[in-house]
Amino acid sequence: MVVECCIKLDVELQNELDDLDDDCIESLIDGSDDEIDDDLAEGDDDEDDQMVEEVYTVSSTKNIRKLVYKLDSIMELLIKATSYSFTSEELSSGNGVDLFNTLTSLFKSHILPTHFTKSIQFLLFRVSQYQPELADSFLVLLIDIAFNPLEIVEKRLKAMQYLSSYIARAKNLTKHQVVFIVSYLIGWITKYIDERELEVHDITHSTSSSAGGMERFKLFYAAFQALLYIFCFRHQDLTRSVEDLRAGDSQWECTLDKFFQRAIIAKFNPLKYCDETVVFIFAKLATKLNVCYCYSIIEHNKRERMTQGNLNLPTSYGNFRHKQEFLDLEAYFPFDPMVLPNCKKIIKENYIEWREVNPTSEDDDDEDESGSHSDEEDDDDNDEDMEDGELDSAAEDSEDGLSSDDDDDE
């Protein structure tokens, strides 16, 4: 009942915050009602429309703060009340295991299927990091859902988003856990490319919309985007130690460099359909770290989209910009920074901020390095998006496609 109540409050709060950027949200939540009243007092009383808008703003602001206070208080209580159940002793006795199983069951049945949550999932984020076995269990749950052909496609995509966001943000994960998930994703994606790449040729050369389009591969694009996102946050954990290297070995775990060099030129063209901000930041990092070079492909995709925008192409070609249901889904990063002030302080010790892992460069000359992506201002904006947790608001190019076992679901 408590978790269900939190979900309802969370969705209601998210609906209120939908049209605000992060700066507005932060100042609104942290500011005082007196400040807002003072701002409104400066308005022109003779303008009826402005007055109506101001009254609505006050009402909406107070409602947001009321929701934040309620949800923050309940979540803080939940996090603190459950913390004692996940010590080694409690887990050994079985008490902690029972509670964790209850929470993961609620996650699968209630939290995961709910799209607009921004806070309640952090209960599992926090709890699962008390012990490595709990993190293992949570990761296995997400993998089981994401790659289970019996689950509906939407649920599998959500599980993939949770998997990538959790690996990226959970500070207490071991290197082994990070590398294992990356290895699993690489293996699945490589097999997918080997088995289904020929289908892309059939789709792009088909004049019939019955071919189904690139949308059938959207689980593939979600998995590839997960890898990009994880790399952006975990590239330091994905480098091999000097003592483990032999002559000719890749410096990257799972030979990530060779994988990316092969995958980005696959006929699936994953850089075209993944989240634009994730792609740009990955491209910047990958170039800087000598993993692969993406800018020529990104520029080609840009020109192609501009050309397509002026043509009446068949829907089978795969432009999913107007498929709102998928745009909403692909722009979701479940463990973006919290908006609840008290819970945020608790979560902080288990949470990776972008500024902690973003490699600084004294000679960060993007114009020289990127070649095609010459707008330096675009790169700066994308970095801010990642740092502020706004990746979910910048998506334009869908992670389109559906794996072979998804065809039956459709």
For the chain, 410 residues long, give each residue's pLDDT as a single digit of tens: 889 999 999 999 888 887 666 667 676 666 544 444 444 445 444 555 554 444 445 557 888 888 999 999 999 999 999 988 998 888 888 888 999 999 999 999 999 999 879 999 999 999 999 999 999 999 999 999 999 999 999 999 999 999 999 999 999 999 999 999 999 999 999 999 999 998 887 777 665 544 457 888 999 999 999 999 999 999 999 999 888 788 878 899 999 999 999 999 999 999 998 999 999 999 999 999 999 999 999 999 989 878 865 555 444 444 444 444 444 446 689 999 998 999 999 999 999 999 999 865 444 544 444 334 444 444 555 555 555 554 433 333 333 333 334 444 44
Q: Which domain holds residue 274?
A: 128-406
Residue 55 falls inside a structural domain? no
Residue 256's DSSP bridge partners are none
Residue 329 falls inside a structural domain? yes
Give residue 201's pLDDT. Answer: 76
Residue 54 falls inside a structural domain? no
Residue 144 falls inside a structural domain? yes
Residue 369 falls inside a structural domain? yes
Give residue 404's pLDDT. Answer: 39
Residue 2 falls inside a structural domain? no
Indicate the number of domains in the chain. Answer: 1
Task: Please state the pTM of the whole predicted model.
Answer: 0.80
Give residue 315's pLDDT. Answer: 45
Distances (CA, A) of 33 to 15, 55, 63, 311: 21, 13, 11, 51
Give residue 280's pLDDT. Answer: 93
Residue 294 falls inside a structural domain? yes
Residue 112 falls inside a structural domain? no
